Structure 1
Amino acid sequence: MSKEIKIQYEEAEAALSKLRQSVDSWDASFPKEIGGANKLEVINKLNELNAQCQKMLETYQELLLDNQQTSKQSVEDMEDTDQSLHSMISMGR
């Protein structure tokens, strides 16, 4: 049984690039202030919830970008390792 790990580098890089583009183009903005001069408690609560949702989406977007970058670096490192091993094996023949 083979325990070889096969990575399709082009596919992985394309998927990570697509993720990056999607996250970069994502508009995570919520209305900052609704109700204008209206001082109803429900309007104040909605404004607070919108601010919390805005912060949550911004944090999620940052996490996605961090994960995308880490994954991209892992794929690049694995490709470099594959190339190094290939060179070492080729020299040994």
Structure 2
Amino acid sequence: MSNHALILHLAGRAEPLVFALSEKSAKSLVSRLPVLMGSAGVDSPELADGRTVAINFGQVATAHIDELPRNHDAYGIPRRGTGFGG
């Protein structure tokens, strides 16, 4: 699993939105994030669990890529099985 997170701060929301990114999306967004923020673009990065999410960067106050915080709720974290065939 990738250890990268896209952290979005929205105006009027105390806690950031945290998305666990796939390795591919993390590498791609590093260079494109300033452009997406500056142009109020929309992007659909792949999350660590293989799903995608559409993000309207025109609604985001600040955004950055960082390590996935431990013990923090994040969208896109792969579900863990029980170890008993599940």
Indicate the TM-score class for this superposition, using the shorter chain for normalisation.
Answer: under 0.3
Looking at secondary structure, tell me which structure has more strand per residue. Answer: 2
Larger C-alpha radius of gyration, 1 or 2?
1
Higher helix share: 1
TM-score, length basis structure 1? 0.26
